[in-house]
Structures are given as C-alpha cells and as structure tokens.
Amino acid sequence: MSERQPIDPDLRRYLDELAASAPAVADLDGTARAEVMRSNMVRALEKRDSIPGLPNGVITRDLEIARGFSARLYSPANATDSLPLLVYLHGGGWVAGSVATHDPFCRLLSEAAHLHILSVEYRLAPEHAYPAAVEDSVAAFRWAAEHAVELGADPARLALGGDSAGGNLAAVAANQLCSGTTEPPLAALLLLYPVTDDPSANHPSYTENGSGYGLDAGGMRWYWEQYAPGASPDDPHLSPLRMAHLPKLPPTFIATAEYDVLRDEGLAYAKKLKAAGVDLTHLHAPDMHHNFPVHPGTVARFPQSTQTFDEIAEWLRTTLR
C-alpha cells in the first residue's frame, strides 16, 4: 500500500459531529443496545432530503418472499422487461440495519445502474443469531432466481451484493451458491467494505482505525458477539477470508476505505479473490471511512462518496449488460 493519506478534513468534522450527538450505549445489555443502534440508523433517514434525486421516480413494492420474511423491490421508472436484478443485503452489524435504513441508497442505485434491486429484510441478531442471516440470504437469492421473470428481471443477469455485515453475508452466500452444481447462476458480486474475518485475527486496521472513525473496534467486536456467540473464528461461513478453497466466483467489485476498522480484511479478501483468478475490480478510498458511499448522510456530501457511488453503478451496468 502507498503512504497513508490524511483523512478528508470535512469528513473529520462530520464524524466529530456524529460522535458528539451519539447516545452512550456501553452500559446497555445486548438487546437494549441493539435497539439504540437500530434507532440511530433510522435517524440517518433524516438526512435523505439532502440527497439529490430523493424522492425520485424509482418504483418500490414490498413483498413477502422466501421463508416468510420480507423484501422491497426497487425498479427504475422506465423499466422494461428483463432488466438485471441485484439482491441486496444491508449492513448494520447483523444487528441494526434494515430495508428502511438503506432505502435512499437502493433508490439511487436502482436508478443510476438501471436495474431492479431486491433489498432483503433478513433476520437480525441477537434475537436470531448465526446462521439465521446466512440462511435468509441464500434463500432470498434462490427465491429471486425462481421468480425473476415475474419481477421483470432477466434470470441470467442476477447479482448479489451488500455492505459491511451485508457484504459478509453476500460473500458467504456467494461461496455457498457457487459451490453447488444445481444453484441458479450468479452473474456479479458486489462487496462494499465487507466483514471478511473474525476480530481475533487482530488486523492492524483494528488498532490504526480503532476509534474516532465511526465504526470502532469495540463496536465491531460487540456486533460479532451478538451475531455469532461462541462460534469458531475459523468457520468460513462466518469468516470467508478463512475459506481454504474458493469456488468459481463471478466478476466481483470490492470497495475498501483507508479509515475503516475493516480495511485490512477487505484488502486481504480482494487479494485472495485475485489470487483465485476472480475477475476483480477493487476500489480503495485513501481518505474516507467505513460506510462512505452508502450512508445517506455522506453519499451526496463528499465528492469521494459520489465518485465511488458512480463507479459502483457503472460497474453494475457494464458487468450486467
């Protein structure tokens, strides 16, 4: 890696403002702390009015899908039959995110990339610990493949993606789906600053970016405790970086950020995919933080966020054309 660049000064001010307004959660138990974090993520929707194009012409429809859980389908206003479809898994540490918290991002991406997005409301920890979210992620993709035509999608152009913990689920689900011989085809994989390794690995970014950049090391460890209590850190269905042999994966996009506690495991996973011969596009933001191209408070505020968002949309258009 090149020499570490200073964090964007406007981003530094923004993160300091967020930290000053964040409620204390350290003394709460797992369930209460999860509820506070969920509320904090929903508060981010207050920023949506500052995002150009929201509300936009994207058409949404809430659905009941596999195993009785729900999802939201996003379609461009001028959608035609047989557009590509992205099954999207939201971030939030397997605990705090939802379809609602990622609604602005999915609306923007559906329009910009001109595709359908099925945003999945998978089960959350601590009420539903591992492997519930993995099971839901795999089931959602299979359901989307089975119902692609009635959703207006091309079953040969199905993508899977997610951010942070959702990126972890997308990576794990893709490894499972691509290992099977009778699974529906996966045409593209989108991993935005994904969780790929257990905190016990002690990657240097857990120390370098352990506090002061939004997602901190203590919070990430807490998320793991809620999601997979007592699980083996070597389980590749938890830590895809530890998978001995990767299956044949589709073209993959990975985004990482310098000032992210998850930086090094994301970089390591990109390296692992490249070594396995995956058609990889890797974008590293040298002065940004975790969640920079997705969070509704940053996606239109910082040029780096907008640029990365545009590159994500262009990659999806090109890969799924």
pLDDT in tens, 60-117: 999 999 888 999 999 998 887 799 999 999 999 999 889 988 988 999 999 999 999 9
Cα torsion through 290, 276, 245, 257, rounded to 10: -10
> Could you tell me where the beta strands, DSSP code E, fall in 99-230?
116-120, 153-163, 188-192
Peptide bond into 131 cis (omega under 30): yes
Count of helices and strands (H, E) across the chain: 9, 8
98, with CB counted inside 10 A (0-12, 13-18, 19+), is middle
State the pLDDT at residue 180.
82
pTM for the model: 0.94
- Residue with the bigger pLDDT between 295 and 143: it is 143
CA distances, 23 to each of 17, 28, 42 (Å): 12, 11, 14
What one-character DSSP code corresponds to residue 35?
Answer: H
For residues 142-161, give the mean pLDDT: 96
State the pLDDT at residue 42.
65
Catalytic residue among 102, 116, 289, 290: 290
| Cross-strand partners of 91 | none
By residue count, the chain amounts to 321
**3 state DSSP class of 60:** strand
**3 state DSSP class of 78:** coil
pLDDT over 70, % of the chain? 90
The per-residue pLDDT for range 279-307, each reduced to its tens digit, is 999 999 999 999 999 987 787 789 999 99
State the pLDDT at residue 40.
67
Tell me: pLDDT of 256 over 90: yes
Tell me: pLDDT of 261 over 90: yes
Catalytic residue among 154, 197, 198, 260: 260
Phi/psi class of residue 87: alpha, beta or left (left: φ > 0; alpha: ψ in -120 to 50)? Answer: beta
State the pLDDT at residue 301.
82
Lowest average pLDDT, out of 28-32, 227-231, 240-244, 265-269, goes to 28-32
| Cross-strand partners of 161 | 88, 190
- Residue with the bigger pLDDT between 55 and 153: it is 153
- DSSP run (H or E) holding 141: helix 132-146
The per-residue pLDDT for range 2-60, each reduced to its tens digit, is 578 899 999 999 889 878 876 666 566 667 777 776 676 666 655 555 565 565 689 99
How confident is residue 120, by pLDDT bands cut at 50, 70 and 90?
Answer: very high
**Computed from CA positions of residues 77, 82, 84, 90, in that sequence, does the dihedral angle turn out positive or negative?**
positive
State the pLDDT at residue 132.
97
> Taking Cα atoms as reference points, which of 142, 251, 255 lies closest to residue 194?
255
State the pLDDT at residue 50.
57
State the pLDDT at residue 79.
84
On whether the CB atoms of residues 116 and 147 are closer than 8 A, the answer is: no
Residue extents of the structural domains in the chain: 9-319
Tell me: pLDDT of 308 over 90: yes
How confident is residue 182, by pLDDT bands cut at 50, 70 and 90?
Answer: confident
State the CATH class of domain 9-319.
alpha beta
State the pLDDT at residue 272.
98
- Compute the distance between CA of residue 167 and CA of residue 195 in angstroms, rounded to an integer: 6
For residue 108, count other CB atoms closer than 10 A to its CB: 23
For residues 254-269, give the mean pLDDT: 98
61, with CB counted inside 10 A (0-12, 13-18, 19+), is exposed
- Residue with the bigger pLDDT between 30 and 159: it is 159
Catalytic residue among 110, 164, 205, 305: 164
- Residue with the bigger pLDDT between 301 and 209: it is 209
290 is catalytic: yes
- DSSP run (H or E) holding 38: helix 30-43
- Residue with the bigger pLDDT between 161 and 100: it is 161
CA distances, 154 to each of 87, 148, 314 (Å): 13, 6, 18
What average pLDDT does the structure give for the chain?
Answer: 91
> Taking Cα atoms as reference points, which of 24, 55, 124 lies closest to residue 296?
55
CA distances, 2 to each of 76, 204, 205 (Å): 39, 15, 15
